[in-house]
Structure 1
Amino acid sequence: MTRSLFSRWAWGAVLALSAGAVWAEAPSPGPQRVEALKHMVRQDCGSCHGMRLTGGLGPALTSEALAHKPPEYLQAVILNGIPGTPMPPWSAMLSPQEAQWIAEQLFQGFPEEHRSAH
């Protein structure tokens, strides 16, 4: 394993362990926040991961693509980003509970945004 790959793997392991304590106790966000989070994932995350989350600059975030990753790892990546890559930390905009909700939704197949009629 190259030094760079090992560093990324080790960083991911640290992130996964740091998120594990939060995983079991996170409440769901309220209905309005859920809609805001759906929009954020589709627009902000979609700008790198593809508007359908099937990949782009960043990897696919489909349930199939994430099946082999621990949920705690994904929550930690959302909150802390991945150093040395374009993946930024979102901890300034998301709580650990919201990051957990996003991770759970990604593992289940992320829902579409609710679009109200104008």
Structure 2
Amino acid sequence: MPVTKKAVQYLLGIFMASLLPLSTSVATPLTAERQATLEHLLIQDCGSCHGLRMTGGLGPALTPQILADKSRESLIATVMYGRPGTAMPPWDALLNEQDATWMIDRLLQGVTP
């Protein structure tokens, strides 16, 4: 059976996600200023596609209920590396893995503007 480009991208994403716990477990805590910047980014930039209340728009809803069945690592990888073939861009040029982890943890708690 031939291996498709999509399958290779998926497996690469899973592999990259498996490395995330190694790098985020030893990181220093984010400053209050950085958290405020990330909160703004989450509501304004992510909210421009996912809705200001994260209930959906161009992108899917990102509510705790919707995200509950998804692994934290795969969500972090999606933020970092995007979703090829969709409107979800990679954010690795602006965020590091610790930032992405903080944002995913915030989404899992629920975000309100």
Partners in 2 of 1:82 and 1:76 — Cα distance? 9
1:39 alignment counterpart: 40
Q: Give the 5 Å matches for 1:37-116.
A: 37-110=38-111, 112=113
The aligned length equals 110
Partners in 2 of 1:107 and 1:26 — Cα distance? 20
- Contact kept, 8 Å, 2:53 with 2:112, in 1: the verdict is no
**Amino acid across the alignment from 2:41:** M
* TM-score of the pair, normalised by structure 1: 0.79
1:116 alignment counterpart: none
2:14 alignment counterpart: 13
**Amino acid across the alignment from 1:43:** Q
2:31 alignment counterpart: 30
CA, structure 1 residues 48+85, in 2 after alignment: closer, same or farther (shift >3 Å)? same
* TM-score of the pair, normalised by structure 2: 0.82
**Amino acid across the alignment from 1:95:** N
Which blocks of at least 5 consecutive residues in structure 1 are unaligned?
113-118
Q: Deviations over 1:9-62 (max 9, x none)?
A: 545433432423234334331111111111111111011101111111111111
Which blocks of at least 5 consecutive residues in structure 2 are unaligned?
none
Q: Deviations over 1:54-77 (max 9, x none)?
A: 111111111111000111111111
Deviates more, 1:5-14 or 1:16-25: 5-14
**Amino acid across the alignment from 2:21:** G
3-state SS in 2 of match to 1:75? helix
- Contact kept, 8 Å, 2:79 with 2:91, in 1: the verdict is yes
